[in-house]
Structure 1
Amino acid sequence: MQSNAHITPSSKLFHILIIPRICNPLAGISKQDLLARVASFCASYELTDKLSIFEKGALVAQNPDSFESIDELDEEDKRHLRREVTHKWHLPRTLYFTIGLCSLGSAVQGWDNTGANGANLSFPEEFGIAHNTWLVGFINAAPTISGLFAAWAADPLNNMMGRRGVIFFTGLFCVFPVLAQAFTQNWWGLLLTRLIMGIGLGIKITTIPIMTSEVVPATIRGGLVMSFQLWVAFGILVGFCSNLIFHDIGRLAWRFQLGAAFAPAIPILILVWYCPESPRWLLKKYRIKESFESFCRLRNTEVMAARDLYYAYNQFIVEEEVFGGSSFLTRFTELFTVPRIRRATIGGAIVMTAQQFSGINIMAFYSSTIFAQAGYDSKHTLLASFGFGLVNFVFAFPAIWTIDTFGRRNLLLFTFPNMAWCLVAGGCCFLLPEESAARLPLIAFFVYLFTAFYSPGIGPVPNVYAAECFPLSHREIGAASCIFVNNALSSILGLTFPSLLAGITPSGAFGFYAGLNMLAFVIIFFFLPETKQRTLEELDYIFGVPTRRHAAYYSFTWLPWAVKRHVLFQGKASLEPLYHLEGFEGRNMGEAGAWH
């Protein structure tokens, strides 16, 4: 293995951007030199009392899978490092508290979507706009319309206030404008409150996945970061319950259905300050001692905390050498001009676009309308929509275990074709005679089956992917760009769907989204890199692979191997992996399927 100890930060970054190798930034450094660097690091950041801890952490970070041979570690240290592999979900309560509380903020988004879903049955009539499908669509899409512009504020706000401060600030938008919806007296008042609410939602859904991705270990990052989507699904389910509870109130039901969504934000405003600040945000601010204290609250031992901090610090210094001190405009430009960051921007845009292509937000906003057109009465429409919310929530759970083992990319490649045929089948059921007893149950069945495929796949992946694919220097503005794409498409689809439904019928609408699902499948297959079980710092190397090389690999290397292995049943067919590990003893990917 070639040593990279002599490589300067700038040349090292150039090296990783053009060579498809995942390199440990501490690889090739002699033990004596490494310990000297650790001593200098501790002296610089008032951590000399933790010198022995950081020496252990640096040695483990240098050879993560060879810790058994590190003499400096005692048996207790090694026991905890073993359990990190064998009991990877055994983590401090503070970590789970932080993930749970922060992700609770996403429940507001899901609850509001379903509140609007039920409210669509009554508020257009009360305000006399039922005939204006474009205006109804605009009111429903208002939070995503304002949110797509507000997402860009996540970068400066996170820079000034930190992750916790931004989560608290956006929580205020999830209380007062949400409640104000219930008291509006005309359609433009409802539109205004929803636009204001969208400002907070746009910033919040950018920040929460970043916060969660920065505090969790790499091996289960996907499973914990996807809690954001799990809480969205929970909010959708509770929102449908709320719709049913308030249904019998009559024409004022929509006020309670919309206003009740403020509830999840209350505990966030009170308890968020009991969570540790993101250690990587503190690292970005060179508040190294505070970053270590935060890591200590989020890891099982101080050695693990020191390992993660020192590893992240070394990669951060490389990024700072190239990108440090750049302005907002410069960072925005670099999303498209710097190859490594541009690939992350493309990857994030792909998954966000694919989520909207799936058609799920149409189900969340308009399932009541769809079931009403299928022939259900008002009460049974809400019950059928509740079933959609229940399936969405229950089937989100498998992703907790599969997203970090099966992988983000493979989950999407499995679920998109299945969602497509479910939509085709559901659309065909609308063509059955209205007097047919099978018509309504079949439509509901295929909508539910579509949702069951969506929930463990394209449901959780986009927010996980967007939060992890960018380097620390561009994480906020990069995630904001992904949310902008997602909200822009969501706004367009939410605005146009009532007219689309009226123009091409439910069968045509379902067929249209089935085609978009298959288009998303093709784009993901050729252009989306896998990110599972890599630290946030190691992903710099994953996105160092040029897009054309990634597409060529799956076209001319992976596809022929797949045909030989799974069609011609040639068990001895071998596959050269796309990525090669450098500086991680024992982690070289020997099995062909491990990276595909």
Structure 2
Amino acid sequence: MTHDPTATAHNSGLPPLTPGRYRRRLGFVTLIATLGGLLFGYDTSVINGAGGFMAQPDQLNLDDFGLGVAVSSLLFASAVGALVGGGVSDAIGRKKTITVMASMFILGVVMVVASLNLAMIVTGRIILGLAVGSASVVVPVYLAELAPYEIRGSLAGRNEMMIVTGQLLAIIMNAIIGNLWGEQYPWVWRVMFTLAALPAIALLLGVSRLPESPRWLADKERQDEALAVLDNLRPEGRAKPELDEINAARHEEAAREDLSIREVIADNNLVKIVLIGCGIGFFQQTTGINSILYYGERVLEEAGFGRGGALIANIAPAAISVITAIIALQMMDRFSRRKTFLWGYGLVAFSHVLIGTTAELMPEGGAKPYVLLFLIVFFVGSMQLCLNVATWVTLSEIFPLKMRAFGMGVSVFILWMTNSALGLFFPTLIATIGMSGSFFTFAVLNAIAFLFVLTFVPETKGRTLEQLEEDVMSGKIFHRGARA
């Protein structure tokens, strides 16, 4: 059935979203804000390609562990940035936080590009990581608070698209720069990192034209400013009634008391749902997706490509990420979340077995690199299609309102820390047990993830947040029927 936003608007008591110039203004605001997502994607992936040049003896002379430290320093800092970014934006506002974030992106790039040793690289990457972690929290919140609820999903979804677009852009630029000048100028890794400054500068310049979140302004009792923002980004006659709804919800929220950590721990049902959330975050990372996002060049060289060929072949997994992310956004509300997880972990485990077997048994040379590239693309496509969006949607749904911030925060922290650990040790892992051993290990982990979903993860599609909360608090959600 086609969704009718006009009807929904009338049901909510708000005037409908009629066409108007405000939509163009919303589009501009979304474009500028999601440059933070583009930078998130670019800065996490640029080292996939730049790392090989950085590690050379006449550059930074990094061993496998040193390269892992360079990669993971951004990821560990991102975990911290994600934890503190929301609190900072609550204190000083979304707009000021995005301004600080853009400045940190620029400062981090300058530090990395000027690096003479591993310590300087790590310092620059930590600054970038704090900005990336903040962006992962602040930009989606800003868009959700600014968008009309009828089109909130499509506007907020653009940030995820910008993240994977940033990853693809980094891979493409690395391939072009590396193949044109890599053999002659081994310092081209500095150019690869420098390009990240361009969207950061655009974000810093553009943020001056962004409005502050009307919900943040209302929370700070700056009612006239909140009304002015809504008046600019809504059809005529809608701003005042929407501000009234925001204030009513804010007063209701103020009367609600969040559960303390002690109260959460004392309730077995809440402990169970937090552990399920942590498991979802942990297993999303043990798919091994970031072994491709951060070390795709290294993996493809192990597969048999030369450096130039690996840089070009690296584009294929990044491109399939963008394509399948678009499809995943369209299918998320049409298919069972739980079955999507099961298909995803099953396909990913199967692809890992095929990659490991091919790497181990197929003769070197000939078609082997291309077969492995096809299997890697199949793996990345399966993960992005079935697991990436499903993970974030499910984590946003399963926690009761009074401990949602705590549950989401702990689960995302576990996700980032798992990501960081894999980023740190993957070069050493592949050097120690090879490509086949690494992917067989991932296959085992994904088989365990399949069993985890089958045994513990409930179905959330087609149920309101209030229904899910009631089932969590009563323990009904953990019964077999809730997982059907």
Q: How would you bin the TM-score normalised by the shorter chain?
A: 0.7 to 0.9
Deviation track 1:8-43 (CA, whole Å, cap 9, x = no partner) reads xxxxxxxxxxxxxxxxxxxxxxxxxxxxxxxxxxxx
The code of the aligned residue for 1:317 comes to H
> Per the alignment, do residues 208 and 521 of structure 1 end up closer, same or farther by CA in structure 2, a change over 3 Å counting?
farther
The residue matched to 1:545 in structure 2 has which SS? Answer: helix
The code of the aligned residue for 1:151 comes to A
Cα displacement (A) at 1:418: 1.9
Q: Which residue among 94, 101, 106 is the counterpart of 2:32? A: 101
Structural mapping, 1:191-340, within 5 Å: 191-218=122-149, 220-247=151-178, 248-249=181-182, 250-300=185-235, 302-303=237-238, 305=239, 308-323=242-257
Cα displacement (A) at 1:480: 4.7
Cα displacement (A) at 1:477: 6.7
> Per the alignment, do residues 332 and 92 of structure 1 end up closer, same or farther by CA in structure 2, a change over 3 Å counting?
farther
Cα displacement (A) at 1:194: 1.1
The code of the aligned residue for 2:372 comes to I
Cα displacement (A) at 1:384: 0.9
Q: Which residue among 410, 419, 427 is the counterpart of 2:356? A: 427
The code of the aligned residue for 2:140 comes to P
Task: Please give the alpha-carbon distance, in whole angstroms, between the structure 2 residues aligned to 1:348 and 1:213.
Answer: 22
Task: Please give the alpha-carbon distance, in whole angstroms, between the structure 2 residues aligned to 1:154 and 1:333.
Answer: 24
Q: Which moved more, 1:189-198 or 1:218-227?
A: 218-227
Cα displacement (A) at 1:347: 6.4
The code of the aligned residue for 1:556 comes to G
Task: Please give the alpha-carbon distance, in whole angstroms, between the structure 2 residues aligned to 1:441 and 1:447.
Answer: 10
Task: Please give the alpha-carbon distance, in whole angstroms, between the structure 2 residues aligned to 1:530 and 1:122.
Answer: 46
> Per the alignment, do residues 529 and 289 of structure 1 end up closer, same or farther by CA in structure 2, a change over 3 Å counting?
farther
The code of the aligned residue for 1:264 comes to P
Cα displacement (A) at 1:518: 3.7
> Per the alignment, do residues 331 and 225 of structure 1 end up closer, same or farther by CA in structure 2, a change over 3 Å counting?
farther
Q: Which residue among 437, 455, 467 is the counterpart of 1:508? A: 437
> Per the alignment, do residues 101 and 335 of structure 1 end up closer, same or farther by CA in structure 2, a change over 3 Å counting?
farther
| Equivalent residues, number | 472
CA contact (8 A) 1:529 1:542 kept: no
Cα displacement (A) at 1:443: 0.6
Cα displacement (A) at 1:242: 1.5
The residue matched to 1:543 in structure 2 has which SS? Answer: helix
Structural mapping, 1:101-500, within 5 Å: 101-126=32-57, 132-218=63-149, 220-247=151-178, 248-249=181-182, 250-300=185-235, 302-303=237-238, 305=239, 308-323=242-257, 349-406=278-335, 411-435=340-364, 437-463=366-392, 480-500=409-429
Task: Please give the alpha-carbon distance, in whole angstroms, between the structure 2 residues aligned to 1:140 and 1:93.
Answer: 38
Task: Please give the alpha-carbon distance, in whole angstroms, between the structure 1 residues aligned to 2:91 and 2:58.
Answer: 42
Cα displacement (A) at 1:302: 3.4
Task: Please give the alpha-carbon distance, in whole angstroms, between the structure 2 residues aligned to 1:276 and 1:471.
Answer: 31
Cα displacement (A) at 1:377: 0.5
CA contact (8 A) 1:233 1:393 kept: yes
The residue matched to 1:264 in structure 2 has which SS? Answer: helix
Cα displacement (A) at 1:442: 1.2
The residue matched to 1:460 in structure 2 has which SS? Answer: helix
Cα displacement (A) at 1:138: 1.0
The code of the aligned residue for 2:257 comes to F
Q: Which residue among 455, 465, 470 is the counterpart of 1:539? A: 465
- Residue of structure 2 equivalent to 1:50: none
> Per the alignment, do residues 479 and 557 of structure 1 end up closer, same or farther by CA in structure 2, a change over 3 Å counting?
closer
Task: Please give the alpha-carbon distance, in whole angstroms, between the structure 2 residues aligned to 1:307 and 1:341.
Answer: 36
The code of the aligned residue for 1:320 comes to A
Q: Which residue among 11, 30, 41 is the counterpart of 1:64? A: 11
Deviation track 1:376-402 (CA, whole Å, cap 9, x = no partner) reads 101001011112212212222123322
Cα displacement (A) at 1:456: 3.4
Q: Which moved more, 1:351-360 or 1:374-383?
A: 351-360
Identical aligned pairs, as a percentage?
24
CA contact (8 A) 1:228 1:460 kept: no
CA contact (8 A) 2:336 2:459 kept: no
Deviation track 1:320-364 (CA, whole Å, cap 9, x = no partner) reads 21338xxxxx97767767899878855654443233122111110
> Per the alignment, do residues 260 and 424 of structure 1 end up closer, same or farther by CA in structure 2, a change over 3 Å counting?
same
> Per the alignment, do residues 438 and 266 of structure 1 end up closer, same or farther by CA in structure 2, a change over 3 Å counting?
same
Q: Which moved more, 1:350-359 or 1:184-193?
A: 350-359
Task: Please give the alpha-carbon distance, in whole angstroms, between the structure 2 residues aligned to 1:137 and 1:115.
Answer: 14
> Per the alignment, do residues 293 and 331 of structure 1 end up closer, same or farther by CA in structure 2, a change over 3 Å counting?
farther
Cα displacement (A) at 1:458: 2.8
Q: Which moved more, 1:95-104 or 1:231-240?
A: 95-104
The residue matched to 1:277 in structure 2 has which SS? Answer: coil
Cα displacement (A) at 1:141: 0.7
Task: Please give the alpha-carbon distance, in whole angstroms, between the structure 1 residues aligned to 2:292 and 2:390.
Answer: 18
Structure whose residues are more often helix by fraction: 2
The residue matched to 2:170 in structure 1 has which SS? Answer: helix
> Per the alignment, do residues 311 and 528 of structure 1 end up closer, same or farther by CA in structure 2, a change over 3 Å counting?
farther
Cα displacement (A) at 1:374: 0.9
Task: Please give the alpha-carbon distance, in whole angstroms, between the structure 1 residues aligned to 2:115 and 2:128.
Answer: 14
Deviation track 1:551-590 (CA, whole Å, cap 9, x = no partner) reads 21xx23664xxxxxxxxxxxxxxxxxxxxxxxxxxxxxxx
Deviation track 1:171-211 (CA, whole Å, cap 9, x = no partner) reads 11111211321121112211221122212222221211222
Task: Please give the alpha-carbon distance, in whole angstroms, between the structure 1 residues aligned to 2:154 and 2:92.
Answer: 27
Deviation track 1:193-230 (CA, whole Å, cap 9, x = no partner) reads 11222122222212112222333355554443232221
If asked which structure has higher relative contact order (CA below 8 Å, sep 6+), I would say 1
Task: Please give the alpha-carbon distance, in whole angstroms, between the structure 2 residues aligned to 1:468 and 1:169.
Answer: 30
CA contact (8 A) 1:115 1:257 kept: yes
Cα displacement (A) at 1:273: 3.4
CA contact (8 A) 2:108 2:124 kept: yes
Name the TM-score, length of structure 2 as normaliser: 0.84
Q: Which residue among 435, 438, 460 is the counterpart of 1:530? A: 460
Task: Please give the alpha-carbon distance, in whole angstroms, between the structure 2 residues aligned to 1:468 and 1:206.
Answer: 16
Task: Please give the alpha-carbon distance, in whole angstroms, between the structure 2 residues aligned to 1:318 and 1:302.
Answer: 24
Task: Please give the alpha-carbon distance, in whole angstroms, between the structure 2 residues aligned to 1:145 and 1:351.
Answer: 19
Q: Return 5+ residue gaps in structure 1 as ranges.
A: 1-58, 68-72, 325-329, 560-596
The code of the aligned residue for 1:319 comes to E
> Per the alignment, do residues 467 and 527 of structure 1 end up closer, same or farther by CA in structure 2, a change over 3 Å counting?
closer
> Per the alignment, do residues 112 and 274 of structure 1 end up closer, same or farther by CA in structure 2, a change over 3 Å counting?
same
The code of the aligned residue for 1:270 comes to L
CA contact (8 A) 1:143 1:195 kept: yes
Q: Return 5+ residue gaps in structure 2 as ranges.
A: 1-6
Provide the alpha-carbon RMSD of the alignment: 3.6
Q: Which has the larger radius of gyration?
A: 1
Task: Please give the alpha-carbon distance, in whole angstroms, between the structure 1 residues aligned to 2:458 and 2:410.
Answer: 17
Name the TM-score, length of structure 1 as normaliser: 0.70
> Per the alignment, do residues 354 and 311 of structure 1 end up closer, same or farther by CA in structure 2, a change over 3 Å counting?
farther
CA contact (8 A) 1:60 1:307 kept: no
